[in-house]
Chain A
Amino acid sequence: MKVLVPVKRVIDYNVKVRVKADGTGVDLANVKMSMNPFDEIAVEEAIRLKEAGKADEVVVVSIGVKQAQETLRTALAMGADRAILIIAADDVNTDIEPLAVAKLLAKVVEEEQPGLVVAGKQAIDNDMNATGQMLSALLGWSQATFASEVDIDGDKAVVTREVDGGLQTIKVNLPAIVTADLRLNEPRYATLPNIMKAKKKPLDEKTAADYGVDVTPRLEVVKTSEPAVRQAGIKVESVDELVTKLKEAGAI
């Protein structure tokens, strides 16, 4: 079985994001970019399936700007076999919407015929939490989102999902889309020898036009603004003082 994993290049999760003064977006100049953390978890899961003999090839695909090549190289260094880069924008400030990403991925799925797609549950830049579900709808496949455990069992996958009430386990027909939550696994770091080896792994470059997919956004960004800032309050010296302050504030 082939496993396909979409990966996104985003601002590193440790970076303090700054809104541009003119309200046109967030500042991406000289900012550290990394693979979306949920996608790292997805890549790790796919590699583990291969190591466990449940998958025979891991193909990673990224959609966005040319620089997403670095993200794909990271995935290859972790252990993916092959990469596809779909260039859909020239400007690093352009975010390709989940619907367009899902349409492109659907085309890749048609070509590659994977038995499973493992995606991150959400990208930490647009926080949309949508691509996996949308891809699943376009393909008419089953979906198992927010996964904390995946077990391949013949032509089914048994997936435990993190939901508001706790955990839910479902059994889905393969092929399926699984989206990874935080506790699915702990992704490995790429070692130096593997980073060197990754440079020689195949990376195909395509454009959105090659697939005939229109990536024009449906949502026009009118403006981007700073959230309301919260002022730091005071430090209290003791538990007694805390209780007094909370009573004064009517909080208890």
Chain B
Amino acid sequence: MAVLLLAEINDGVLSVDATAKAVSASTSLGDVTVLAVGATAADAAAEAAKIDGVAKVLVAEDALYSHRLAEPVATLMAALAADYSHIVAPATTDAKNILPRVAALLDVMVLSDVTAVVDADTFERPIYAGNAIQTVKSSDAKKVITFRTSTFDAAGEGGSAAVETIAAGDNPGLSEWVEDKVAESDRPELTSAKIVVSGGRGVGSEEDFAIIEKLADKLGAAVGASRAAVDSGFAPNDWQVGQTGKVVAPELYIAAGISGAIQHLAGMKDSKIIVAINKDEEAPIFQVADFGLVADLFEAVPALTEKL
């Protein structure tokens, strides 16, 4: 058995955390070959070669792969598939865009957001916003899988895999990139941060979200948000935590002005310690919180920032 693992690369930079978590999820499935794809991918490939448990790195560098449009990347992966039993990636929006396409090209099902590997054919994955865990056994010749990164520890460093350059695949010529709107931030990345401070509708406005951000900065934390906060324009979409946003499992998750809808809990209930600050003592978030504070967040959050 052998694994082809799509490395998470943005603008030539390897996302070490996401990729290393997918590596540790895959090592029981066979030798792991990492595929580094991008307009520039050589540096990312060299980084990936250092991840423990990586047997080999393939690098496909071509302008065709800038911005990782799904059609050319999936075409390349499907063309490489013959040599592998498992084709995997961390469950980022990038991979969720690409891997189901690869699966259909190979006439196999995809297994999204896998949280545990039982054996080479059998996997666990959450369904219904994490309200049930399904164990499924695949009868497909090849398994195409995205791994939920929050449930796997990152593989360490210390590897020295060989890096091999491969030719670019066909260009389906179906789509082109126009622009990215990416906010630059010095904060830790939401899905790998040790501490996350999230605000909900209770925060009330974009301006007042600053009090959430101040607390986050005091703690060296990432900032998250509920869907209601994003929909209301208080916070950007990439801060959304939940069933259909990012799934996080930090050491400490602080939720302020968030009621605790199941769709939100789906994205954070595996956090080690959960703190809830909400003025409604009946808010469902308190049912999952280790420490609940019934208070007005406009007083409690600045006070907490002050006292830390």
Interface residues of A in 196-252 (CB under 8 A from B): 217-227, 230, 232-236, 238-240, 242-243, 245-246, 249, 251-252
Interface residues of A in 1-46 (CB under 8 A from B): 11, 13, 16-17, 19, 26, 38
Does B175 lie within 8 Å of A170, measured CB to CB? Answer: yes
A128-155 toward B: CB 8 Å interface, digit per residue (1/0)? 1111111111101111111010000000
In whole angstroms, what is the CA distance A16 to B287 when docked?
Answer: 14
Q: Is B293 at the interface (CB under 8 A from chain A)?
A: yes
Contact partner, B174, options A148, A164, A172, A236, Cβ 8 Å: A172
B267-308 toward A: CB 8 Å interface, digit per residue (1/0)? 001001111000001000011111111110000100110011
Does A236 lie within 8 Å of B176, measured CB to CB? Answer: no
Q: Given A142-B174, A143-B70, A173-B174, A251–B252 Cβ distance below 8 Å?
A: yes
Q: Which residue of B lies closest to A38 (CB)?
A: B244
Partner-contacting stretch, out of A52-60, A79-87, A97-105: A97-105
Contact partner, A170, options B10, B129, B178, Cβ 8 Å: B178
Does B135 lie within 8 Å of A219, measured CB to CB? Answer: no
Q: Given A146-B93, A183-B231, A219–B109 Cβ distance below 8 Å?
A: yes
Q: Given A130-B112, A173-B174, A218-B140, A164–B94 Cβ distance below 8 Å?
A: yes
In whole angstroms, what is the CA distance A223 to B304 when docked?
Answer: 44
Interface centre among B134, B136, B304 (most CB of A within 10 A): B134
Residues of chain B within 8 A (CB-CB) of A251 are 195, 251-252, 272-273
Partner-contacting stretch, out of A70-78, A108-116, A117-125: A117-125
B123-147 toward A: CB 8 Å interface, digit per residue (1/0)? 0011111111111111110000000
In whole angstroms, what is the CA distance A238 to B133 when docked?
Answer: 37
In whole angstroms, what is the CA distance A239 to B304 when docked?
Answer: 6
Residues of chain B within 8 A (CB-CB) of A170 are 67, 69, 175-178
Does B103 lie within 8 Å of A127, measured CB to CB? Answer: no
Residues of chain A within 8 A (CB-CB) of B210 are none
Contact partner, B307, options A148, A172, A227, A243, Cβ 8 Å: A243
**Total residues of chain A contacting the partner, CB 8 A:** 81
Q: Is A92 at the interface (CB under 8 A from chain B)?
A: no
Residues of chain B within 8 A (CB-CB) of A135 are 104
Contact partner, B101, options A13, A137, A218, Cβ 8 Å: A137
Does B179 lie within 8 Å of A246, measured CB to CB? Answer: no
Contact partner, B237, options A38, A142, A166, Cβ 8 Å: A166
Partner-contacting stretch, out of B25-33, B41-49, B180-188: B180-188
In whole angstroms, what is the CA distance A16 to B266 when docked?
Answer: 13
Does A145 lie within 8 Å of B70, measured CB to CB? Answer: yes
Q: Measured between C-beta atoms, what is the minimum distance from A39 to chain B in Å?
A: 13
Q: Given A171-B178, A227-B133, A243-B308, A130–B100 Cβ distance below 8 Å?
A: yes
Does B109 lie within 8 Å of A98, measured CB to CB? Answer: yes
Does A171 lie within 8 Å of B176, measured CB to CB? Answer: yes
Contact partner, A219, options B104, B136, B191, B294, Cβ 8 Å: B136
Q: Given A239-B300, A243-B304, A144–B294 Cβ distance below 8 Å?
A: no
Interface centre among B70, B100, B219, B230 (most CB of A within 10 A): B100
Does B126 lie within 8 Å of A220, measured CB to CB? Answer: no
A residues whose Cβ falls under 8 Å from a Cβ of B: 11, 13, 16-17, 19, 26, 38, 97-99, 102, 121-122, 124-138, 140-146, 148, 158, 161-173, 176, 181-183, 217-227, 230, 232-236, 238-240, 242-243, 245-246, 249, 251-252
A-B CB proximity, top 8 nearest: A233-B290, A142-B174, A137-B104, A133-B100, A134-B104, A130-B100, A169-B178, A218-B109
Additional A-B contacts beyond A143-B71, A218-B108 (15; CB < 8 A)? A17-B132, A26-B127, A129-B112, A134-B110, A142-B174, A145-B70, A145-B97, A166-B180, A168-B181, A172-B175, A225-B132, A230-B287, A235-B292, A236-B292, A251-B252
